[in-house]
């Protein structure tokens, strides 16, 4: 049964207009196309306006990176120094422990 466009209610029209489609894109009003295009172009313009700031900030970012690298190098040197100091203290503790054991053996007999 073919219904003329005048006699169709909204859902009949939607059902017929979306035949063969996976989604009902035919229902989307025409002005949403302009809205989406305007939104995307606004994002694009904002990115273009921000582009000079990236170039302006890049030397500052490089300086901060170098400073953090220097800080990391100092921290690594401190950790290595602490590790060597602890290793020395462990060896000296073992040496002292063996001296104590030797002394205890001498006292006992």
How many CB atoms within 10 Å of residue 13? 14
How far, CA to CA in Å, does 32 sit from each of 13, 15, 45? 20, 20, 20
- The owner of tokens 């073992």 is 94
Tell me how far apart the alpha carbons of residues 53 and 59 are, in angstroms, rounded to a whole number.
11
Q: Indicate the SS3 state at residue 3.
A: coil
Q: What is the pLDDT of residues 90-109, one digit of tens each?
A: 666 555 566 667 777 777 76
What does pTM read for this prediction? 0.32
**Domain residue limits, the chain:** 30-108
Q: What is the pLDDT of residues 12-49, one digit of tens each?
A: 777 777 666 655 555 566 677 778 888 999 999 999 99
pLDDT band for position 67 (cuts 50, 70, 90): confident
DSSP string, 50-89: HHHHHHHHHHHHHHHHHHHHHHHHHHHHHHHHHHHHHHHH
């Amino acid at each position: 049964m073919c219904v003329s466009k005048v006699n169709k209610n909204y859902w009949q029209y939607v059902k017929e207009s979306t035949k063969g489609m996976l989604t009902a894109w035919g229902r989307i009003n025409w002005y949403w196309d302009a809205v989406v295009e305007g939104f995307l172009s606004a994002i694009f313009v904002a990115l273009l306006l921000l582009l000079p700031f990236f170039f302006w900030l890049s030397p500052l970012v490089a300086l901060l990176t170098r400073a953090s690298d220097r800080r990391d190098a100092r921290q690594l040197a401190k950790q290595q120094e602490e590790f060597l100091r602890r290793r020395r203290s462990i060896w000296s503790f073992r040496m002292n422990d063996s001296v104590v054991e030797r002394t205890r053996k001498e006292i006992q007999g």
